Amino acid sequence: MSFPTYNTDKSTELFARATKVIPSGVYGHLGPAEGQFIPVNKWPRFSEKAEGSYFWDVDGNKYIDYMCAYGPNVLGYCDPDVDAAAIAQIKLGNCTTSPSKIMIDCAELLVDTVNCADWAFFAKNGNDVTQAAIMTARAHTHRKKIIFFNGFYHGVSPMVQKIDYPGVLPEDVANAIYVNWDDIDGLKQAIEENKGEIAGLIAQPYNHGNFNDNSISSKEFWQQVRKLCDDNGIILIIDDVRAGFRLDLAGSDHYFGFKADLICFCKALANGYNMSALCGQEFLKSTVSGLSYTGSYWMSAVPFAACIATINKLKALDAPKLFLEKGTALTQGLVKAGKEHGFDLIASGAPALFYLRIANDNSLLLHQDWVAECVNRGVFFTSHHNHFINASLSDEDINRTIEIAEEAFKVVAKNHPEIF
Amino acid sequence: MTDAKTLAYINLFGILGALENLCELDEEAQELLKGKKPISIGIEVKGGPSATLTFKNSRCRMEEGCRKDCDVKLPFSSCEKFNGLIDGTVTPIPSKGFIHIPFLLKQFTGLTDILTKYLRASEEDLKDEVFFEKSTKLMFYLITVAISQIANNDEIGKFSAHYVPDGIIEVAIKDSVSATLRVEDHHFVTIKQKPQSYRSQMQFGSIKLARDLFDGNVNSLACIGDGSIEMHGQINMIDNVNRILDRVALYLA
């Protein structure tokens, strides 16, 4: 079977229009620069509509979407149950002077669902809650320093960016300590060198950074981290913004067999409705109460309704098991297809958030070519970011993806006779 | 947010190093050197960089380190003093080769004046297409050399370099000039020629675009978005080079 290649002229035209009034046209991770669309013209830049596992771009091309809006699409775009709950709530009110009581329902559901949660504090974006978590750790311990594991991404506030990023001052990151993943000795040394000064340790549940194969940390590693934090009065913060609810509905700390002090959620909370949540243990509740930290839309009711519908549906579907099965079937199929055409495709990380890399060369050029050929035939991958499985992904979608990937392998092999 | 030592490295290897390219590109520069005997000028900066410039056959070549057998030696007691030479606030006094002072006063000063004309180009001069191209090429070489100097010396530059894996990065202007950044154990070396192969590549779509980038009229992220800058390969190398590039603007401002 042959798959037609897509034309993205309308996207290009709209992008040119966008650049006149919007910095970079599409800035941030959804944009072609940070999103690393290589080459740019193989990727759509604007969507027209979305449903289930698909979105259609402004040129009318249909994509099986493995980025899921970089995570929020966890049940499928326009999920009827979630949208119905949101629409019912919008008729009652959304952004109101006194918050809707549905906020309490949502917090109770999170407390019932998430293993380490005794309370929930709501905001809008992942960055809102990672920053809140760091502030909570500092307020509670009256200490300054925060430990990060190299390869981290915890949002965009200056305190979690790096010293060489535009607009970040050395003072903003003066209290950051960087340690390598899975390096317990390095962590012990950092704690020893900063004895009594470390407020918190913030980490994703495993190393799912960009550009490198993702590596799952062991339960033993996390047990040791937990103990070191306990022994040294360090608040252990899990940034579950990306992996949250895809590995374990009780939180990724639960998946790895430990209990975080604070845990940050966002992407998969409400199937695309905008909200985030910081959850934590009882002993930190009064500290969070004292933070001067709020936002205009943080208590809007519609996302709470969507969140409740999303979590209940994820539970009914036993979604993490589903994600594991679908992600495993997909990645095994892709790896096998690659092998048949001489490509060493490596799938790493959790299957629910698989990361792909062609390892035949060390430049990633083959990988970029292959991803571009997949996208240009209707499978939306990105070059160097982990991908996401959503619950609406069907076996038929997986099979079609593998077929397209196979054709893309053939095209890349043909374009590189010096290698294949 | 800049330091004198890094600036001295940029001034020596980037600015004075651009004399190599000036002598290749510019007839007026070649004319200044025409018929002159070969001469080497050693520059030694205490607590900073050192290099030797050799002028021969109307061309210039720079090598790292102040050669013992150089004809003229210009010592500087500090990076600040050397930076003053480039600013025009310090007059160098040779410790060796007084008989070559006329070369310093005429040819060397003449060459640096021409270089300044290209590197600090006026809007009027840039209207001339040939001048524009030469000026942009010289800027390109200066900037690619400055990237390595910042990566190796500036504290924040070193932080960025720490995240760059080993390999060759090609920085190029389409259908024009190309440079190689060789990275080994986070140490950068710029070679002002196209590499045979690369691990990552950043290519500016045109010389006009390169100029706009150098002048700060457009942003590299925006250009990557519209495809006027193409990047390929190990993107985290380029990503971090772009962070260093931000600091180049700071040093060359």
Nearest CA in chain A to B222: A24
Compare CB distances from A26 to B219, B225, B227 and report the shortest one's residue.
B225
Instruction: Tell me which H or E stretch contains A146.
Output: strand A145-149
Residue B134 lies in a domain: yes
- Amino acid A26 reads V
CA atoms within 13 A on the CB side of B31: 5
Q: How far is A25 from chain B (nearest CA, A)?
A: 7
Mutation for A interface: B212, B219, B232, most A CBs within 10 A: B232
Q: Mind listing the pLDDT tens digit for each residue in B174-224? A: 999 999 999 999 999 999 999 999 999 999 999 999 999 988 888 888 899
Same domain? For B98 and B141 the reply is no
In this predicted structure, the answer to whether residue A1 has a pLDDT above a threshold of 80 is no
- Domains along the sequence of chain A with CATH: 9-77+319-415 (3.90.1150.10), 80-317 (3.40.640.10)
pLDDT of residue A212: 87
Same domain? For B104 and B154 the reply is no
DSSP B29-74: HHHHHTTPPPEEEEEEETTS-EEEEEEETTEEEEEES--TT-SEEE
DSSP A240-305: -TTTTTTS-TT-HHHHTT---SEEEE-TTTTTTSS-EEEEE-GGGHHHHHT-----TTTT-HHHHH
pLDDT of residue A133: 98
Same domain? For B22 and B95 the reply is yes
Last residue of a domain, one of B119, B152, B182: B119
pLDDT of residue A331: 98
pLDDT of residue A209: 85
Same domain? For B238 and B141 the reply is yes
Cα–Cα distance measured from residue A301 to residue A260, given in angstroms and rounded to the nearest whole number:
27
CATH code for the domain in which residue B164 is found: 3.30.1050.10
Peptide bond just before A39 cis, omega within 30 deg = yes
Q: Is A145 left (phi over 0), alpha (psi -120 to 50) or beta?
A: beta
Residue B104 lies in a domain: yes
pLDDT of residue A349: 97
Segment B101-123 mean pLDDT: 95
Return the structure tokens found at A230.
């306990």
User: pLDDT-derived band of residue A396, with 50, 70 and 90 as boundaries?
Assistant: very high
pLDDT of residue B219: 87
Chain-chain contact of B246 with A164 (C-beta, under 8 angstroms)? yes
Last residue of a domain, one of B76, B100, B119: B119
pLDDT of residue B19: 98
Segment A217-226 mean pLDDT: 97
Domain count, chain B: 2
Segment B151-179 mean pLDDT: 97
Any idea which of A310-314, B93-97, B179-183 has the lowest mean pLDDT? B93-97
Same domain? For B140 and B206 the reply is yes
Any idea which of A150-159, A329-338, B74-83, B86-95 has the lowest mean pLDDT? B86-95
In this predicted structure, the answer to whether residue B166 has a pLDDT above a threshold of 90 is yes
Structural domain range at position B85: 4-119
- Give chain B's largest Cα–Cα span: 56
Same domain? For B101 and B210 the reply is no
pLDDT of residue B70: 96
Cα–Cα distance measured from residue A65 to residue A405, given in angstroms and rounded to the nearest whole number:
14
Segment A26-35 mean pLDDT: 92
Compare CB distances from B231 to A25, A38, A165 and report the shortest one's residue.
A38
Q: In a 3-state reduction of DSSP, which class is residue A158?
A: helix
Segment A56-75 mean pLDDT: 98
pLDDT of residue B221: 85
Last residue of a domain, one of B82, B100, B119: B119
DSSP conformational letter for B198:
-
Average pLDDT, chain B: 95
Q: Mind listing the pLDDT tens digit for each residue in B4-28? A: 999 999 999 999 999 999 999 999 9
Contacts of A364 in chain B (CB under 8 A): 233-235
User: pLDDT-derived band of residue A34, with 50, 70 and 90 as boundaries?
Assistant: confident
pLDDT of residue A386: 97
Is the pTM value of this prediction over 0.90?
yes
Cα–Cα distance measured from residue B21 to residue B191, given in angstroms and rounded to the nearest whole number:
12
Residue B124 lies in a domain: no
In this predicted structure, the answer to whether residue A48 has a pLDDT above a threshold of 90 is yes
Same domain? For B91 and B163 the reply is no
> Considering chain B, what percentage of its residues have pLDDT values greater than 90?
92
- State CA B227 to chain mean position distance: 26
Q: Mind listing the pLDDT tens digit for each residue in A132-181? A: 999 999 999 999 999 999 999 999 999 999 999 999 999 999 999 999 99
- ipTM score of complex: 0.90
Q: How far is A26 from chain B (nearest CA, A)?
A: 8
Same domain? For B153 and B63 the reply is no
Contacts of B156 in chain A (CB under 8 A): 163-164, 170
Same domain? For B114 and B140 the reply is no
DSSP conformational letter for A170:
G
- Amino acid A285 reads K
pLDDT of residue A210: 86
Same domain? For B28 and B112 the reply is yes
Same domain? For B19 and B102 the reply is yes
User: pLDDT-derived band of residue A299, with 50, 70 and 90 as boundaries?
Assistant: very high
Chain-chain contact of A33 with B244 (C-beta, under 8 angstroms)? no
pLDDT of residue A35: 85
pLDDT of residue B1: 80
Q: Is A145 exposed, middle or buried (0-12, 13-18, 19+ CB in 10 A)?
A: buried
In this predicted structure, the answer to whether residue A211 has a pLDDT above a threshold of 90 is no
Interface of B with A in 186-205 (CB under 8 A): 198-200
Segment A94-99 mean pLDDT: 97
Same domain? For B115 and B137 the reply is no
Check if the beta carbon of residue A147 is closer than 8 Å to that of residue A179. Answer: yes
> Considering chain A, what percentage of its residues have pLDDT values greater than 90?
97
Contacts across the A-B interface (CB distance below 8 Å):
79
